[in-house]
Structure 1
Amino acid sequence: MTIASDDVQRDAAHYRAMRDIVEQMRERIPGKFEITKEGIVHDMMAPGRPHELTAAQVRRRLEKEMPEEILAHTGTPDVELGSEGIMRHPDVMVIAVADMEGEGSFDPRTLIAVIEVVSRSNPDNDWVSKMRDYPLLGIPVYAVFDPRTGSGAVLSGIHRTPDGPRYATRKDFMYGEDVTIADWTISTDDLPRYA
């Protein structure tokens, strides 16, 4: 489908408006804000200890395996591709130190992988929306850790489908198994579960 110039300008203006709203809300309302094709996603619940501990342990385990010029980063800024109208904030981003330099959001095409820990309050954001958005953004590897079930999946191999880019390969795992994310294999032993 060809999008007319007016449609592109309208979409860009719509995205900028949503981006401005998110920036205003971040200053006043607690929680995590992201922008998807459907609109603004607000996770009102601050992540709990099991969520944050999982992200920290996965980050630490990855960094023990990675070369010094690669980081497993937890924090800001967001990952954003304005041309697609998407702004996300992964729990862990695997990225080269050199690609972190500069100002503004990270270009998602510089990421090696992203890791999400499934939210207790909004699991579909990680299992459905991000599974659609991350290949659209060109992120080559997406790993999901789910403390609700003690399981997860690593998705890779972006390919074109009638519904847009999707991951072609999915490798499921259970906590306790080793898991390979991009070029690094880590243990999932003793990761916390939601009570």
Structure 2
Amino acid sequence: MADALPERFRVEILEGSIVASPTPSPKHAEVIRRISEQMSPQLPGDLACYQVLSVGISAESSEYASPDLTVFPIAKARESDDWLSAPDSVELVVEVASPGNARTDTETKPRVYASMGIPVYLLIDPRDGSLVCYSDPREGAYQATHRMKFGDTVVLPEPLKDVRIETADLPRDS
């Protein structure tokens, strides 16, 4: 098939554009594993961390994103057979920027996730050891932006108030 994506790419539709990103590296996956393992025991009992969960406005809209990590209600995960999850059920999304998709994660996704009304977007950038926690989405933009660096403790805002993530040992890109 001539117009098929090359192997190892995943697709999202963001702001009307098809965005193909390389499948994450093991180091990328390790960042997500460490974040998930820290967050999981701190979450309320009705929420859990999920990977490979796509979020979109509605089944009728072609726009959707597939965050690296999503905090989502366990009951909805157990009940739903739909491939697309409603953003009003999502409490947090996490993206790990990599050389192949950094612009999408740092520029496009803050707008997309804010327009979906997702309460918190945590961007982790192993390229320079930085983190940005976006929160308080209103009128298509996050109103609060908190910048940190690896080594800082991330304390998440509402609705995950007081969930803490230690970042000193997160792997950085070479």
TM-score bin, normalised by smaller chain: 0.7 to 0.9
Q: Which position in structure 1 is the counterpart of 2:118?
A: 139
Counterpart-to-counterpart distance in 2, 1:146 and 1:158: 21
1:59-93 deviation line (CA, Å, top 9, x unaligned): 110002113321011124x1122455421100000
Q: Which runs of 5+ in 1 are unaligned?
A: 1-23
Alignment of 1:95-110 (within 5 A): 95-100=72-77, 101-104=79-82, 105-110=84-89
Q: Which position in structure 1 is the counterpart of 2:133?
A: 154
- The answer as to whether partners of 1:37 and 1:85 remain within 8 angstroms in 2 is no
Q: Which position in structure 1 is the counterpart of 2:55?
A: 79
Task: Compute the displacement of 1:99 (Å).
Answer: 2.1
- The answer as to whether partners of 2:16 and 2:63 remain within 8 angstroms in 1 is no
Q: Which of 116, 119, 132 is 2:98 aligned to?
A: 119
Q: Which position in structure 2 is the counterpart of 1:52?
A: 29
- The answer as to whether partners of 1:156 and 1:170 remain within 8 angstroms in 2 is yes
Counterpart-to-counterpart distance in 1, 2:45 and 2:138: 31
Q: What root-mean-square deviation, in Å, do the aligned CA atoms of Structure 1 and Structure 2 show?
A: 1.8
1:191 match: secondary structure: coil
Query: In proportion to residue count, which structure has more helix?
Result: 1
Task: Compute the displacement of 1:124 (Å).
Answer: 0.6
- The answer as to whether partners of 2:117 and 2:138 remain within 8 angstroms in 1 is no
Indicate yes or no: 2:47 matched with 1:33.
Answer: no
2:85 match: secondary structure: coil
2:136 match: secondary structure: strand
Distance of aligned partners of 1:96 and 1:150 in 2 relative to their CA distance in 1, 3 Å threshold: same
Q: Which position in structure 2 is the counterpart of 1:66?
A: 43
- Report runs of 4+ in structure 1 exceeding 4 Å deviation: none
Q: Which of 177, 181, 184 is 2:152 aligned to?
A: 177
Q: Letter of the aligned partner of 2:48 in structure 1?
A: L
Distance of aligned partners of 1:62 and 1:55 in 2 relative to their CA distance in 1, 3 Å threshold: same
Counterpart-to-counterpart distance in 1, 2:108 and 2:70: 17
- The answer as to whether partners of 1:50 and 1:147 remain within 8 angstroms in 2 is no
Counterpart-to-counterpart distance in 2, 1:140 and 1:132: 12
Task: Compute the displacement of 1:29 (Å).
Answer: 4.1
Q: Letter of the aligned partner of 1:81 in structure 2?
A: I
Counterpart-to-counterpart distance in 1, 2:67 and 2:12: 10
Q: Give the structure with higher Rg (CA).
A: 1
Q: Letter of the aligned partner of 1:66 in structure 2?
A: L
Distance of aligned partners of 1:173 and 1:126 in 2 relative to their CA distance in 1, 3 Å threshold: same
Task: Compute the displacement of 1:178 (Å).
Answer: 0.6
